Every structure is written in structure tokens, then in C-alpha cells.
Amino acid sequence: MALQKYTFRIQRSIPVQGGGVQTKWQDFPVESEPNVTVLTLLEEIKGQQDGTLVFRQSCRSAICGSCAMWISGRTRLACKTHVGAVAKNGVVEIAPQKNQPVLKDLAIDIRPFFKRVHGITPYLLDGPEQNSTVTKSAYDQVNHVTQCILCGACYSDCTMAEVSPAFVGPAALAKAFRFVSDPREGRKSQRLADLCQPSAIWSCTRCTMCVDVCPKEVAPMEAIVKLRTRAMARGYTGSAGAKHALAFHEDIRRGGHLNEFTLMMRTLGIWETLKETGTALHLAKKGKVPSPFPHTVAGVEELRRMYDHLEQFPIEVETKAKEAVPE
């Protein structure tokens, strides 16, 4: 394969006195075949052009998770990414992972990420809900989640982590799903109750970014959705997120459309809604006032029949993770 010319545009971050980093973009020319990995070319730059360039790598085989960095628009493993696949007009932009503190150049401080993972108690607990038999279906449903290499790519591209650093994050929640789903776990209900606290399962916006960027097909968002379903099935419906989901369910079943006029009140309660009076008035001024009168769309009977059918014969949603028989 013929050599091609590329420009590696790398975000350099230099620590400054008093904390934080100063950033600048720096271009490095490289010549390479398109099927060479970004990591190999970063090593070449470090060896031949600038020995001060800092980045993490170890296994070079998409196993250790240490080379995750932002490459051409999203977070990827540098050792799994071919330069030809990500160059845009010959340019490859590379920056450290997002939503994480940067130490130097492309190396982030991984401690906050691992603190989140430790926060979900990532080991089995003794308790009354323990069952020593691990069935094949129970194993199947967590198998894909255990493929997580804790690279942090999902957290880096998570839209909720970007606006709310308190968010537990997709990797930790996928791990929580692994323990909630394990028959040997003794405190499933307690775990689900904890996961309904603010900044956990109900804070996910279901943007799918974590599913798209995960290099190991863990599909964290799907695990989060299943955690929500299980939490509600066990009666944990007091959080704003659960109330919001129930309001959607009720409205669509009743009339085939959402009653946005009362949605906020049913989600947040009257006092929290009153605090948003200013926003409501602002929207009203712009003519964006939902009708206070519930109405029913044509064909709603058909919709209700579908609801009835689904409640009687629940279908398994097509996901990467198989839902096991309820324990």
C-alpha cells in the first residue's frame, strides 16, 4: 500500500503553576500507510519528532483500555484505530478524553473515573437475595458487560457527564447492572434503590453516545434502561425520572399523546413546578403554551389494544444484552 501524507493535529496540555493546564494545538507531519494505527504513529512522533509528547498505552491490543483518547470527533482506542479511517482531508485531530481532568498532553487523571466505578460497590454482597445457582441465561445477560476494559471512552463522550460531573456515568452503571443481574448478589433491591438516587440511572438522557463509542460493545445505555425497568418492577417509582416515565406511559395509553401541560407537575410535584413559573411565562409570551385540555387522537383504541397485548405478552427488545428470566 502506498504511503500517504497526514497531519497529526495534537492538543498539547502543559501543567501550569497553581493547577490546571495551558493548551495549544500542534501539528506533526507523518507519512504512513492508511492501515497503520494512530497509536503506532503517535509513538513515531514521540520517537522522531518530540520526545516530550505524553500519552498512555500498554497492550497495543485493545485490552488494557489505557490508550483511549479523543480522535477525529469522538473517543476511541488509539491502538484499534487506523489512521486512514479517521483522517479528514489528511488531518487527524487528537485530544485527551473529555469530561476528565488532564495531567499533560493526552494523559488524563484516571482517578475520578475509577472513583465512580468503586462507588457502585463493584463486588458481590452477601444478603437475603442470594442464590448460589448461576444459570446459563443469567450468565448470558451479563457476559457482554464483563467485556468492559474500563477505558473511559463512554464517560468521555457522555452528554450527561459533560453537563453534570456528579453523574455516575455509563461505565459504572453498566458494572452496577452486572451485579444487580448476578444471581449470587445478595442485595439486589438495595442496589436498585441506591441507583434511583439523583445522578444515577434516571439522569441518563439516552443519547446513545456510550453505545456508539464503546470499543467492546458493552452497550452501557441498554444496561441503564434495564436497571430502570427492574427498579420500577420492584416498586422504586418515587424518583422524578420514574414519575416522568410513568406519566408518558399513562398519557399515551389514555389519549395517544402527551399532556405536556401537566407533565412537569406530575414529574416534579407542584412546588418544584411553581419554581419554574418564570420559564412558563417566558414560553407563554412566545406562544408556546400546551393545551390544558387533554384530547384523544384518532385510532387510540388500536393503541390501547397494543398496550394490552404487550402487557400480556411482553416482547424482548432487540438489544446486545439478553434479558434473563426474572429472578
Question: Residues interacting with ligand FES, by CB under 6 A?
Answer: 57-60, 62-67, 77, 79
Tell how far CA 66 is from the center of its chain: 18
95 binds, among ligand FES, ligand SF4, none (CB under 5 to 8 A by kind): none
Q: Vertex 69, ends 220 and 91: CA angle to 5°?
A: 125
Strands 4-15 and 91-95: parallel
Q: Does 151 bind ligand SF4 (CB under 6 A)?
A: yes
Distance in angstroms between the alpha carbons of the first and the last residue of the chain: 55
Q: What is the rounded distance in angstroms from the CA atom of residue 83 to the CA atom of residue 77?
A: 12
Phi and psi (nearest 5°) for 29?
A: -80, 140
**Shortest spacing between CB 20 and ligand SF4, in angstroms:** 25
Closer residue to ligand FES in complex, CB, 188/216: 216
Rounded to the nearest whole angstrom, what is the least distance from the CB of residue 304 to ligand SF4 in the complex? 30
Shorter beta-carbon distance to ligand SF4: residue 30 or 153: 153
Q: Give the HSE-up count for residue 123: Cα atoms under 13 Å, Cβ half-sphere.
A: 2
Q: Which does 160 bind (CB under 5 to 8 A by kind): ligand FES, ligand SF4, none?
A: ligand SF4
Q: Which is nearer to ligand SF4, 8 or 202 (CB)?
A: 202
Number of other residues whose CB lies within 10 A of the CB of residue 232: 18
Q: Does 142 bind ligand SF4 (CB under 6 A)?
A: no
Nearer to ligand FES, 41 or 224 (CB): 41
Say which entry of ligand FES, ligand SF4, none residue 205 contacts (CB below 5 to 8 A, set by partner kind): ligand SF4
Specify the DSSP class assigned to residue 273: H
Residue 13 or 156 having the CB closest to ligand SF4: 156
Q: Which does 206 bind (CB under 5 to 8 A by kind): ligand FES, ligand SF4, none?
A: ligand SF4
Q: Does 242 contact ligand SF4 by CB under 6 A?
A: no
Q: CB nearer to ligand FES: give 55 or 202.
A: 55
Shortest Cβ distance from residue 142 to ligand SF4 (Å)? 13
* Residue in the block written with cell 385510532: 299
- Can you tell me the distance from the alpha carbon of 7 to that of 326, in angstroms, rounded to the nearest whole number? 53
CA 270 from chain centre, in angstroms, equals 31
If binding is defined by CB under 6 A, does position 80 make contact with ligand SF4?
Answer: no
Q: What share of the chain is helix, strand, coil (3-state, %, to 5)?
A: 45, 15, 45
- Name residue 24's amino acid: K
What does the block give as the cell for 21? 493546564
Site string for ligand SF4, 186-225 (x = CB under 6 A): ------------------xxxxxxx---x-x-x-xx--x-
For residue 183, the minimal CB distance to ligand SF4 (Å) is 22
Cβ-contact 120, 176 below 8 angstroms? yes
CA 234 vs. chain centroid, Å, equals 24
Interface size with ligand SF4, residues (CB under 6 A)? 26
The distance of closest approach from Cβ of residue 57 to ligand FES in the complex, given in angstroms and rounded to an integer, is 4
What is the contact surface with ligand SF4 in residues (CB under 6 A)? Answer: 148-154, 158-160, 170-171, 174, 204-210, 214, 216, 218, 220-221, 224
